[in-house]
Structure 1
Amino acid sequence: MNLSRIILGSRSPRRKELLTQLLPETQIEVVPPADPEEAGFEQLHEWDAIQQQLISICTAKNEDVFQQRPADASVPILTADTIGVVKRETGDLVVLGQPPVESAWQETVKEWFLNDYAGRTHLVLTGVCLRYQQRVTIQIAETEVTFHDQEYVRERLDWYLSTQESRGKAGGYAIQGAGSIFVNRIEGSLSNVVGLPLETVFEMLNRSQTV
């Protein structure tokens, strides 16, 4: 990649840490979106609608950053959004966001772990949007994450909740942290589950240099 600078439109320190595995930190400028509000997924339970919402969010973030820095039109702008998707017994797909900030967060995470994760496979999706030289490209990376069985999860869940790692984490766990003990198998990109699919970003940046 022949890049001298890239703008990362994100508030996530994890995304910057991941991007430094592809590019020197001195080449990465972080410009968080000015608007912290994002569209929700509460009423969306179908695959196409969830994907379209994810694309809309990462695209809106990119446009937000571009409007802040229109003079840097020749500098690539990278934005992303990561969600976890589970399938309930009703057949509905449900996007799990961050646990509630109040005291009920532990009960919410416990319900997710025991009913949605334990012994089951869920999907982690990241929408990636790259703007470079007036071209906007978008890709969605998918990773399947399978947790250990109910007994295994139940025996360790109270301890995990006591670490408070779940707070502020999409889906209520951090695979790069203590939450990794619950994971039995991953199919796809590990960095995608952390918050930025490096394989996808690498290919998008390489293609942007050859177009």
Structure 2
Amino acid sequence: MVAPQLSALTRSPIVLGSRSPRRRDLLAQLVPQERIVVRPPSSSDEAGFNGLASWAEIETRLFEIVRVKNEDVRAHSDPAAAVLSADTVIVGEAEGELAVLGQPPEDESWREVVRGWFHRYLLGRPHFAVTGACLSLGERNWECVVRTKVVFTLAEPAMVDWYLDTGEPVGKAGGYGLQGAGSVFVEMIDGSPSNVIGLPLRETRNMLIDAGLLDGPTMA
């Protein structure tokens, strides 16, 4: 079988294996919208982070999650298609222990869960947004994991109540959205802002270029 020419690859579709509209919008900053085919994984079930106490364990699990998502989407896509999957978590620390904050519960308990996260792990202290991404094309995979340090200011309980009333924390890793009202809490970002939203643009661009899906130089 003859390998596709570079010019053909740079026009070919990219299957985004994600339910996140924010991730789709970020990918559209790198490639035209018409090249993006959104195909979420068939199952929303994924491995958790309970009992993982080190960065190495957390990042290994994140890689496992994005690989499973990628394989799921590939199984329902054209075998020749490029598939991009990603997952983002927030990692906080309290009393010397790391805690992975995923999306809040889908039931009514989400408000109290997010309130607890804010007061225990987020307000007035640093935390990390961590995204794992996997791009597959044919038999090859390109992967990355990116950390961004975020520092929230201290805020009164009334501010947290106001934010909860916006409903924005629902469906957001760590219970906040950097691209929305959650930005009012942010005092400093060290690293990629797009990574906090859900897709590290520099690293994703580099993977697309390495795979021949995008023209241009890579960035360190």
Normalising by the smaller structure, the TM-score range is over 0.9
User: Structure 1 residue 116 and structure 2 residue 121: aligned?
Assistant: yes
Task: Give the distance between the partners of 2:114 and 2:156, measured in 1 at CA.
Answer: 12
Taking structure 1 as the reference length, the TM-score comes to 0.92
- Equivalent position SS for 1:32: coil
Contact map agreement 1:123 1:144 (CA 8 A) in 2: yes
Unaligned runs of 5+ in 1: none
Task: Give the distance between the partners of 1:97 and 1:133, measured in 2 at CA.
Answer: 31
Aligned length: 205
Cα deviation code 1:133-187 (max 9, x no counterpart): 31011100110010002xx353411111111111221111111110000000001
Unaligned runs of 5+ in 2: 1-8, 214-220
1:104 to 98, 106, 109: 109
Code of the aligned partner of 2:129: V
- Counterpart residue number, 1:172: 175
TM-superposed CA distance for 1:35, in Å, is 1.7
- Equivalent position SS for 2:84: strand
- Equivalent position SS for 2:212: helix
- Counterpart residue number, 1:73: 79
Q: Which has the higher helix share?
A: 1
Contact map agreement 1:99 1:166 (CA 8 A) in 2: yes
**Worse-superposed segment, 158-167 or 140-149:** 158-167
- Counterpart residue number, 1:82: 88
CA RMSD across the alignment:
1.5
Task: Give the distance between the partners of 1:103 and 1:10, measured in 2 at CA.
Answer: 24
Task: Give the distance between the partners of 2:25 and 2:12, measured in 1 at CA.
Answer: 18
Task: Give the distance between the partners of 2:109 and 2:40, measured in 1 at CA.
Answer: 29
- Equivalent position SS for 1:130: strand
Cα deviation code 1:75-121 (max 9, x no counterpart): 211000000001111x2211011222333222221111112111111
Task: Give the distance between the partners of 1:147 and 1:195, measured in 2 at CA.
Answer: 18
- Equivalent position SS for 2:211: helix
Percent identical across equivalent pairs? 46
